A = this chain, B = another copy of it.
Amino acid sequence: MDGITPLDALIEHFNALPGIGKKTAMRLAYHVLDMDAARAKSLAQAIVNAKERIGLCRICYNISDTDPCRICQSTRRDKSVICVVEKPQDVAAVERMRNYHGLYHVLHGVLSPLNGVGPNDIRFKELVERLADGTVKEVIVATNPNVEGEATAMYAARLLKPLGVKVTRIASGLPIGGDMELADEVTVAKAIENRREI
């Protein structure tokens, strides 16, 4: 009669994960009980492993189980380009595309004065330091196309251009497969503003 059973405890843990409601948490917990023991142990171990073995790369601040990360260590990457992103998931998104061969820099946030996030609260200084030896010729700012992402891009441009690097911004416009009719007006405006001759 300790009040909380191991099953309740597991349901609560699952329920605490983002996007996992009470019902899904219950379904997952019962599924774990149905798994064979080795499989359940392996799931638990994967959680511990990920947490223990993954840290931040000392160069680009992406998550990695090696330091520097595999991308920073690679001899096949173009060291003259850095793609700046908000979070590690964004590196994964660009890598999935398979045709970007430069390096990355993960800011771990965006400038957001309203939320009290200034340049010193994200990995901005570390980005500037990487430009010191002159290897990097271009910085592609791939923060999200929203107010904070744009502000961060503007700030980066103002700060980095004087250092002699080209600062570029990812294009905004209609997503491939998108629909003019369904697109919001800001996106349509951007798509027209950024039109190019064909």
Which of A's residues lie within 8 Å of B, judged by CB? 1, 5-7, 9-10, 12-13, 17-20, 24, 26-33, 35, 37, 40-54, 63-65, 70, 87-89, 92
Instruction: Judge whether B47 and A40 touch: CB under 8 Å.
Output: yes
Q: Complex formed: what's the CA distance from A128 to B166 in Å?
A: 80
Instruction: Judge whether B32 and A50 touch: CB under 8 Å.
Output: yes
Most buried by B among A43, A87, A89, A92: A43
Instruction: Judge whether B6 and A49 touch: CB under 8 Å.
Output: yes
Instruction: Judge whether A53 and B6 touch: CB under 8 Å.
Output: yes
Q: Is the interface of A mostly helix, strand, loop or mixed?
A: helix
Instruction: Judge whether B53 and A48 touch: CB under 8 Å.
Output: no
Can you pick out 13 interface pairs between chain A and chain B where the beta carbons lie within 8 Å of each other? A5-B54, A5-B64, A7-B50, A7-B65, A9-B46, A13-B42, A13-B47, A18-B28, A26-B89, A26-B92, A33-B50, A33-B51, A33-B88
Answer whether A10 and B44 are a contact pair too, CB < 8 Å, given A18-B27, A27-B18.
Answer: no
A63 surroundings in chain B (CB, below 8 A): 7, 33
